[in-house]
Amino acid sequence: MLKEKIRHDFDVEAIRKDFPALDQEVYGKKLIYFDNGATSQKPRSVIKTVEQYYLSDNANVHRGVHHLSQKATDLFEASRRIVQNAINAPEEETVIFTKGTTDSINLLAFSIGETLKTGDEVIISEMEHHSNIVPWQMMCERKGCILKVIPINDKGELIMSEYEQLLSDKTKLVAVTHVSNTLGTINPVEQIIEMAHKKGAWVMIDGAQSIQHMKIDVQAMGCDFYVFSGHKVFGPTGTGVMYGKKEILENLPPYQGGGDMIDKVTFEKTTYNVLPFKFEAGTPNIAGCIALGEAFNYLSGLDHNELAAYEEELLDYAEKQLLTIEGLRLIGTASKKISVASFVVDGIHPFDIGTLLDKQGIAVRTGHHCTQPLMDRFAIPGTVRASFAFYNTREEIDQFIIALKRSVNMLR
């Protein structure tokens, strides 16, 4: 009966065959991987791309005239163009390779901070990941700036009227998540950007939880900066991207010094390289960045609308089944969400639930999810978080619900 409701034009079983990590057992049970918000599994083509680089293409980039260096450089820069096209960046040099979202935000917090003065204001939101809180706190302490926070309502949605009140002529940057990693809330980023721009402020969008679920167009969005991690979009760990508008990046100081980011070095003065190299000091994760391009190549072969619709169905089905469990409360009930279901069960610590689910072969995340201020907002120690990707199935959700009910009954 359930299978009849699944979209017949989306072959999830065929897609699952592309992800070898899904085909294994944990404690004698078939793995059910519901921790995609933390990191996604990788398709074979991405894994093979990493292997291929080290088997036959291994050399440093941008430095050598020999064949292997030229080949590695071509592959590396081709990956940059793939990412450019994937997010519709206007120029390839506006795509900066980093270690991930955290690295990207720290880069911006330092470089933007060098342009700010005492009393300038930065706005973030109550639902931010620690990676989009702490770097701005550090910058504000260093530069004497003021950090302001957009509150949320009980559903986990930004209170936009409060945001409007926070904006002022002193606002220099608004840094908000596109999608909450804990709540699944999809924020109205276009509106946020438009309102900030009217005050002359820049806007950075944290896309760590959106890039894998929706089609991103940074030009249509209008953001000044967009950051994300490769490992959450089916690419390797230790890779990421910081997109920025060219005219802004050209006027920001570099974050780190070293090789490749220089034009000329003397003991008296150093001049810096052009974009993107000004922000890419040292030897990058070459294999990882090349494989990140392959991850986007893989996604380009799939229909984004179909993926989004399928994941929406998974979330709707999962949340309805979860609410059949006595004492269970969903945390994050925004009207617009991606496929994340966070919940608590009365009288039971999330860690205990997660431990018992693990013994039944089910991988979920428990804890505060690097959003401690958000946990304080809801007066809870943490949640159990099930985060779904397009390779998950309703049958897995059925097994998850059975295992969860068994776990809850054992802990009561």
User: Which residues are known to be catalytic?
Assistant: 370
For 20-100, where are the alpha helices, taking DSSP H only? 44-52, 67-87
Q: Which of 132, 153, 185 is nearest to 342 (CA)?
A: 185
Contact 122, 300 (CB under 8 A): no
Is 291 within 8 Å of 46 (Cβ atoms)?
A: yes
Q: Which of 242, 250, 307, 245 is closest to 36 using CA atoms?
A: 307
The answer to whether 310 and 339 have CB atoms below 8 angstroms apart is: no
Amino acid, res. 335:
S
- Eight-state DSSP code of residue 35: B
Which token pair is 284?
A: 């990058």
- Kind of pairing, strands 240-244 and 95-98? antiparallel
What's the count of helices (H) and strands (E) in the chain, helices before strands? 15, 17
Cα 95 to Cα 104, 162, 289: the distances in Å are 11, 33, 12
Structure-token pair, residue 400: 């998850």
Place of tokens 């617009």: 336
